[in-house]
């Protein structure tokens, strides 16, 4: 165990991995045909303790929990999209959130992740940057009040809500995250996604800056790196999010441009407790998922000593 590993020890921090190494949930055509059982077996083989939930996972909670328990895996988070900033979607958003919350609790999880996808450009075959939504003051009010309602629901269920800033959305840049944090209470936590903020800004140090700015509010962390040459290409050529993924804009810790040690130092200083989840939305036909999962796990072992 390293000194950093002592401060981010297993009593405080669990190490997980997202299934986006094995297939893509946003774009199902990005797929190498790897089935659920192989994916979760490889997650465990690579040395991770938990994982996100993806579209290939069994819908039956008992079946899913048995499969994960067999491999010594826990659920790190589910994903729930919110649509507070567009018309007639508040009630549907809350209902979908409650359904997801009930499922994750049944699976033994304690974290739920949300992101506002109202008018998002990230799923469309269009210029990712030029067409991302810019919220009006009224839309910001709808979003923040909606998040407060979801946070109250999560709190009452003994769960923690974290907001995921995301490419192509109205909460994409550092200033957007700042406004969201300033406009919500402490029960709305931040999911720090190192890859998304580096992609948005074109700055590999942006994740460190965001971590420093909101260390006390961070409730969940996605660790992924970026390839700067692809970030530049997407920005200059006006490419879509799917284009970016297929070109390899994201990769795992231990690869790409981001140095994760200073980020983990900030989290340790803030006494972070929660998941550190490796993520890389890569094409599994080009980037062998197990190989990249093992690369990331080895990199984290070098920093944490476990």
Q: Which two structure tokens, joined as six digits, stand for 279?
A: 């993520």
How far, in Å, CA of 245 to CA of 27, rounded? 10
Structure tokens at 20: 């986006």
Residue indicated by tokens 């936590």: 189
Q: Model pTM greater than 0.95?
A: yes
Question: What does the pLDDT profile of the chain (306 residues) look like in tens digits?
Answer: 899 999 999 999 999 999 999 999 999 999 999 999 999 999 999 999 999 999 999 999 999 999 999 999 999 998 899 999 999 999 999 999 999 999 999 999 999 999 999 999 999 999 999 999 999 999 999 999 999 999 999 999 999 999 999 999 999 999 999 999 999 999 999 999 999 999 999 999 999 999 999 999 999 999 999 999 999 999 999 999 999 999 999 999 999 999 999 999 999 999 999 999 999 999 999 999 999 999 999 999 999 999
One of 3.20.20.150, 3.40.1170.60, 3.30.70.260, 3.50.50.60 is the CATH number of 3-304, namely 3.20.20.150
Let me know: does 267 contact 218? Beta carbons within 8 Å.
Answer: yes
Backbone φ and ψ of 134, nearest 5°: -120, 110
Give dist(CA 116, CA 85) in Å, integer.
8
Determine the Cα–Cα distance for residues 250 and 247; give it in Å rounded to an integer: 9
């Amino acid at each position: 165990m390293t000194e950093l590993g002592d401060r981010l020890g297993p009593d405080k921090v669990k190490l997980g991995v997202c299934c986006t190494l094995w297939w893509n949930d946003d774009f199902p055509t990005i797929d190498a045909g790897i089935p659920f059982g192989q994916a979760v077996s490889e997650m465990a083989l690579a040395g991770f303790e938990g994982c996100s939930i993806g579209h290939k996972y069994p819908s039956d909670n008992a079946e899913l929990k048995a499969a994960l328990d067999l491999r010594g895996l826990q659920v790190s988070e589910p994903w729930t999209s919110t649509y507070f900033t567009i018309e007639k979607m508040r009630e549907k958003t809350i209902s979908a959130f409650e359904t997801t919350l009930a499922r994750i609790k049944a699976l033994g999880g304690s974290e739920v992740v949300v992101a506002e996808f109202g008018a998002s450009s990230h799923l469309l075959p269009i210029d990712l940057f030029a067409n991302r939504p810019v919220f009006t003051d009224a839309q910001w009010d709808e979003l923040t009040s909606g998040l407060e309602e979801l946070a109250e629901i999560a709190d009452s269920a003994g769960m923690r809500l974290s907001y995921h800033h995301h490419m192509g959305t109205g909460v994409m840049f550092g200033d957007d995250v700042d406004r969201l944090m300033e406009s919500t209470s402490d029960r709305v936590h931040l999911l720090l996604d190192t890859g998304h903020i580096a992609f948005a800004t074109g700055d590999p140090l942006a994740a460190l800056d965001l971590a420093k700015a909101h260390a006390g509010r961070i409730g969940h962390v996605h660790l992924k790196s970026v390839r700067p040459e692809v970030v530049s290409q997407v920005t200059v050529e006006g490419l879509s999010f799917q284009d970016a993924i297929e070109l390899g804009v994201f990769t795992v810790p231990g690869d790409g441009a981001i140095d994760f040690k200073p980020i983990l130092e900030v989290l340790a200083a803030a006494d972070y407790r929660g998941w550190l989840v490796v993520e890389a939305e890569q094409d599994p036909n080009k980037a062998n998922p197990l190989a990249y999962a093992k690369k990331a796990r080895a990199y984290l072992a070098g920093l944490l000593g476990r």
